[in-house]
Chain A
Amino acid sequence: MRYHLIAALSASAAFAGASFAQAADLEVTHWWTSGGEAAAVKILAEEFNKLGGGDKWVDGAIGGSGNAARPIIVSRILGGNPMGATQLNHGRQAEELVQGGLMTDLTELAEKEGWASFIRPKSLLESCTFEGKLYCVPLNIHSWDWMWTNPDAYKQAGVEPPKNWEEFVAAAPKLKEKGIVPLATGDGWQVSGMFNVLTASLGGKDLYIKVNKDKDSEALRGPEFKKVIQALADARSMADPGYVGRSWNEATNMVMTGKAGGQIMGDWAQGEFTAAGKVAGKDYDCLPGLGDHPVVESGGDAIYFPKNKDPEVTKAQLKLASMLVSKQTQVAFNLAKGSMPIRGDIDMATASSCMKKGIEILKNPDNVIPSGDQLRAPDTQGQVESLMGEFFSNPDMSVDDMQERFAEIMESAH
């Protein structure tokens, strides 16, 4: 310990002598705390510390989901105690912080390194841009539109593993007979996320855009959308009562161990399968777009850099930003996390068959849909989440009632 300290001191002293610069400790806040996520964030920290110059990654993990972490992050920035860098989902979550001039401008760096030429799809950079300037670094693409199933669970129940949502629903009674939960899920954002997936996968891209982006009254009250809500009602009857308070990785674990047939969850669930040493196609199956409409959401995680007074921190911020989009980091991080890289020009040969399916879908821009975070302000998201929670927990709430109230929320959204 002591030798390390001395070595570090003399190294930083030497460095300071050479360039008259001090190194900065860069505190990075995030909510990557599950097994696969923690492995991924460790890679980022190691890469950053390896860059040299004495800058250090100080890990500021905040437990709980994004819903628990975001208020802490936002109030720290608003309260004048900004961290060096922070995770947020790209989209509208940081909209007002950027408007308020609280974020570091990355435009110069992005132009120098030519980010626009390799980052795809284009919407990733667009959602980081405000009035022509760039304020965040997209780190990965996370797509919600996946279903993860355990083929063994279906074999036990004596049915074929499902290849789409309709088969999944049809097989549910057989699973229940065997005491297997057909659909593993948690509550809160997991239910509202599942609903978005059902909209895009069963209703298709057009309906998804009409409902969430155009907020089209006719589509919101139409029969097509009613089918989607009916599907959520089916999901309601397929979940077990223990879903209350269950975290997403617990639900993934149910699928992994054969206690549940399947789970609708974003591709971060894949990180859990990988961390547990499971093999895609053998131990688990994946159905992008629930096997109906192959779509991927272009949402994901982005790193924002709140403005700091210390110029050394700003330097370290730019260094980290440049590192995050580099080829090496993109490959290592995304393999660990199970997400898709933001650049198309890197070799992902070692990726699992599921991730390769996702990258394949991503190649066709027609398959790419904007994420819920990109389309809805957090306020609307919150109302939708409350409504979904109410519907999912109350079997007496009718599909029509739900459709009417969902339409009201979307029509009054800003």
Chain B
Amino acid sequence: MAGNKRPVALFRNLNAKIAALPMITTVLVVFIGCTLWTVVYSFTSSRALPMLNFVGFDQYTRLFGASRWAISIKNIAIYGCLSLVFSLVVGFVLAVLMDQKIRFENTFRTIFLYPFALSFIVTGLVWQWILNPLGIQKVVRDLGFESFNLSLLTDRNLVIYAILIAGLWQGTGLIMALMLAGLRNIDEEIWKAARVDGIPTWKTYVFIVIPMMRPVFATALVLIATGIVKLYDLVVAMTNGGPGISSEVPAKYVYDFMFGWANLGQGLAASTVMLATVLIILVPWMMLGGRPNKGKANG
């Protein structure tokens, strides 16, 4: 056959390519197609039903003029930064403590990982009860501290931290488990070598172990970051955005306008801005993140 000498690139690994077709179609239609649809309709004045009457940047002007959106952005920034830092730090420290060959390690691991088995809705409700004036506050007051005041949920400046606490309680266990697996993967010989060289333990962790755990940190980072962007159900269960609009988040803005208040255009504009923000952070990170893997393959 003519093609025998120079097989067409398209037909190389044909089976694998056929097997990948459904996924490729899904990506093209569902992810890229729907994303394009979202962006296009964010420039229309669609209300309950999608309609193609373009209004330019009107939806975006309104979006950036809305104080509710500004509050949502501020909240997600606070929640995002703090949840990223605390999840990684607390998760890593817990994993290190757990790695000291302690007794009952299994028990502790189970306890720390358990909250992750609960949905955000349950987490939110539990913490709402705990932080409710009849929860911790009442217990401490009954112990005799009459003036004790814990108004996290009703104080509009503090409410986002209450959500942060609940979020960390739920998610840190998983990060800890990941980190622990990473620590266990470090070769025992490296520890021995470090000890022979007389390097203090903390230095070994910071300068040797952590750089070696880079892939684990990358995984943890992705998990935490998607959790931040998705933040919705925890807020709905805990405060429903209140007091007033003090604990609103972008995902809730999108949902409320699209489904609750029948303004598709406004909701889609907000979700387009969310997508753009994620891309702005993600693209440079992926470009940077690509390099070490290549380096590894070469070395």
Contact = CB atoms under 8 A, between A and B. Distances in A.
B49 A393 contact: no
Contact of B260 (A378, A387, A405): A378
Contacts of A381: 261
Interface string B37-71: 00000000001110000000000001000111001
B47 A379 contact: yes
Given A379-B262, A381-B261, A245 B48 contact: no
Nearest to A241: B154
The interface centre, meaning the residue of A243, A389, A391 with most chain B CB atoms within 10 A of its CB, is A389
Contact of A390 (B133, B244, B259, B263): B244
A235 to B, nearest CB: 13
B67 A390 contact: yes
Contact of A242 (B62, B154, B257, B261): B154
A242 B243 CA distance: 10
A301 B276 CA distance: 41
Interface string A96-111: 1100100000000000
A384 to B, nearest CB: 10
- Interface majority SS on A: helix, strand, loop or mixed? helix
Contact of A378 (B62, B239, B241, B262): B262
Nearest to B266: A379
A393 B245 contact: yes
A318 to B, nearest CB: 26
The interface centre, meaning the residue of A70, A244, A245, A405 with most chain B CB atoms within 10 A of its CB, is A244
The interface centre, meaning the residue of A71, A74, A93, A243 with most chain B CB atoms within 10 A of its CB, is A71
Contacts of B154: 241-242, 244
Contact of A393 (B246, B256, B261): B246
A382 interface: yes
Contacts of A100: 49
A187 interface: yes
B156 interface: yes
A377 interface: yes
Interface residues of B, number: 31
Contacts of A243: 243
Interface in B243-299: 243-246, 255-257, 259-263, 266
Contacts of B156: 393-394
Interface in A153-175: none
A198 B183 CA distance: 63
Interface in B133-151: 133, 151
A242 B245 contact: no
A278 B260 CA distance: 35
B128 interface: yes
Contacts of A70: 259-260
A412 B58 CA distance: 11
Contacts of A388: 244
Given A96-B48, A244-B243, A378 B261 contact: yes
Contacts of B71: 390
Contacts of B259: 70-71, 74-75
B153 interface: yes
Interface string A229-249: 000000000000111110000
A405 B48 CA distance: 25
B242 interface: yes
B204 interface: no
A392 interface: yes
Contacts of B260: 67, 70-71, 378, 382
A379 B257 contact: yes
Interface string A62-88: 000001001100110010000000000
Interface in A370-414: 377-379, 381-383, 386-394, 405, 412
A96 B49 contact: yes
A124 to B, nearest CB: 22
A299 interface: no
A196 B158 CA distance: 30
A97 B246 CA distance: 32
B244 A389 contact: yes
B240 interface: yes
A145 to B, nearest CB: 24
A302 to B, nearest CB: 17
Given A75-B259, A394-B156, A386 B245 contact: yes
Contacts of B49: 78, 96, 100
Given A96-B47, A390-B68, 12 more contacts: A74-B48, A74-B262, A242-B133, A244-B153, A245-B242, A377-B262, A382-B256, A382-B257, A382-B263, A386-B245, A390-B71, A393-B242
21 contacts: A71-B260, A74-B48, A93-B262, A96-B262, A187-B242, A187-B243, A187-B244, A241-B151, A242-B154, A245-B239, A245-B240, A245-B242, A383-B66, A389-B243, A390-B244, A393-B156, A393-B243, A393-B244, A394-B156, A394-B246, A405-B67
7 residue pairs, one from A and one from B, having the closest CB atoms: A393-B244, A382-B261, A71-B259, A389-B244, A393-B243, A96-B48, A379-B263
Interface of B: 47-49, 62, 66-68, 71, 128, 133, 151, 153-154, 156, 239-246, 255-257, 259-263, 266
